[in-house]
Structure 1
Amino acid sequence: MRLFVGLPLPRRVRDELDHALVPHRAAWPGLRWPDPATWHVTLSFLGEVPEGILPDLETRLARAASRYAPMTLSLTGAGAFPSARRARVFWTGVYGSRPQLVRLADSLGAGARRAGAVQADRRRLHPHLTLARSGAGADLQRLVEDFGSFAGAAWEAGAVHLVRSHLGAAVRYETIAEYPLAASAPGGQS
Structure 2
Amino acid sequence: MRTFIGIELGEKATDELSRFQEVLKNYTIKGRWTHKDNFHITLKFLGEIEAESITEIEDAVKVAAKSINPFYIKFDKVGFFKGNKDMRVLWVGTEENPFLNKLHDNIDEELHKIGFKKDERKFTSHITIARDIRLNIGIEEVNNLFEKQKKNDILVDTVFLYESVIQENRRKYIPIFSVLLK
User: Does 2:66 align with 1:66?
Assistant: yes
Would the aligned equivalents of 1:161 and 1:175 in 2 still touch at CA under 8 Å?
Answer: yes
Match of 2:101 in 1: 102
CA contact (8 A) 1:165 1:174 kept: yes
Any gaps of 5 or more consecutive residues in structure 1? Answer: 183-190
Q: Distance in 1 between matches of 2:65 and 2:116?
A: 17
Query: Are 1:115 and 2:85 an aligned pair?
Result: no
Q: Is it true that 1:27 corresponds to 2:27 in the alignment?
A: yes
Residues 115, 135 of structure 1: CA spacing in aligned structure 2 closer, same or farther, 3 A cutoff? farther
Contiguous gaps of at least 5 residues in structure 2: none
Distance in 1 of aligned mates of 2:176 and 2:66:
17
Q: Given that residues 8 and 39 in structure 1 are in contact (C-alpha distance below 8 angstroms), is that contact kept between their aligned partners in structure 2?
A: yes
Q: Which amino acid in 2 is paired with 1:176?
A: I
Shift of 1:143: 5.4
1:58 to partner: Cα distance: 0.9
CA distance in structure 1 between the aligned counterparts of 2:120 and 2:54, rounded to whole angstroms: 19
TM-score w.r.t. the length of structure 1 is 0.82
Q: Which has the higher strand share?
A: 2
C-alpha separation in 1, matches of 2:4 and 2:141: 28
Q: Distance in 2 between matches of 1:139 and 1:15?
A: 23
Look up the equivalent residue of 1:90 and give its one-letter code.
L
Deviation at 1:135, TM superposition (A): 6.8
Preserved CA contact (<8 Å) 1:166 1:172: yes
Moved >6 Å (runs of 4+): none
Superposition deviation, residue 151 in structure 1: 5.5
CA RMSD of aligned residues (A): 2.6
**Measured at CA, do residues 43 and 71 of structure 1 come closer, stay the same or move farther in structure 2, by a change above 3 Å?**
same
Residues 1:46 and 2:63 are matched in the alignment: no
2: CA distance between counterparts of 1:158 and 1:33? 27
**Aligned residues, how many?**
179
**Partner amino acid for 2:89?**
V
| SS across alignment from 1:152 | coil
